[in-house]
Structure 1
Amino acid sequence: LNYVVIVFQSPESKEFLGEQLILDLMKYKNILVRLATPQHQYAKQQQLNVPTLAIFKRKEYQSIYESPKPLNLNMMREIVRVYCSVDLAKKNEDTKKKDKSRVNNDNFVAPKEQLHLNDLKSALSYMLEHEIPMRKVITGEKLTALKNFLSTTAKVNCKSICLSSLIFFSNCSICLPK
């Protein structure tokens, strides 16, 4: 892990820029992307306008980049590419070497990225521990997306008692206080 990218965005944002950036960059082992609210101490100190991002090198407190103005998703991707380019290029070379070393039997075309059950469990765990607590109330499209995600995960892994109970509670119309 060489870089930490912190995306500052409002929890009520309907653009989901941070979430999209996390999905785009999750294949790179040297970049960690985290979300933060505008009330975060760093955002307040630097007087950052959201949505924006800051990039830090590992174990350094001074950012190597922070945006003075709000950004869109394409600008965020480009900034990460520029400021983390050395490592991204190395990652691409490593991926090409691995692809060449794979044995391809019976003309089978392997997908470029495979989604495993552990990936789904990891995404669910991250969502429950980090994303959901950032929002006081989940309604509308976000609630529908959460229910769809839980249902899809349950279909793949129907043995999980914990997941079944989460789906049950997601279908209830009561709100539980923290």
Structure 2
Amino acid sequence: MTGKEKNFDNLYQKHWSELYAFAYNIIRDRAIAEDIIQEIFIDYWDRMDLVSIELPRAYLFQAVRNQCAKALKKRTFNEVQIENIAALIPELDEVEFDEIKNRLLSEIEQTASSVLLAKCLTVFKLRFYEQLSYQEIALELNISQSTVENQINKALKLLRGNTRYITNTHFSFLLSLV
């Protein structure tokens, strides 16, 4: 494997899932989101020898944002709607993105602690901070999977209603990064 291939493979492995989550939360179509990510990485591969990209992660997120806007435009969205979506996803460098993400995640955690009952908060933390599956949570807490699902849905509904500045798109995307 050449240096270029190794660098590309590392970048692909490191960022594919978060780019996919980002695209899916905008597009809400798995196939289109996968196609966008695939096209972005093909384009990146083609450009690797031509240009030096200082912040590849920021470049990839910007490219996904742009491709999602194009895909939405093809779905007969008007220009105002595209601009609204673009405003939800500002151009950020990696440091700014991480800072905003951490601030919003902190707000989610504080809100969760204040609005969720103890059992619901425990299930929420196990799911989104410990990355446990519904089945694993059910086994750990000795409750049914449907109870876990109900608690997660209840937590998300309460948090969406009580967390300032967060749209459903931002909220889902942020939780996918925890």
Normalising by structure 2, we get a TM-score of 0.26
Between structures 1 and 2, the one with greater helix share: 2
Q: Which has the higher strand share?
A: 1
If asked which structure has higher relative contact order (CA below 8 Å, sep 6+), I would say 2
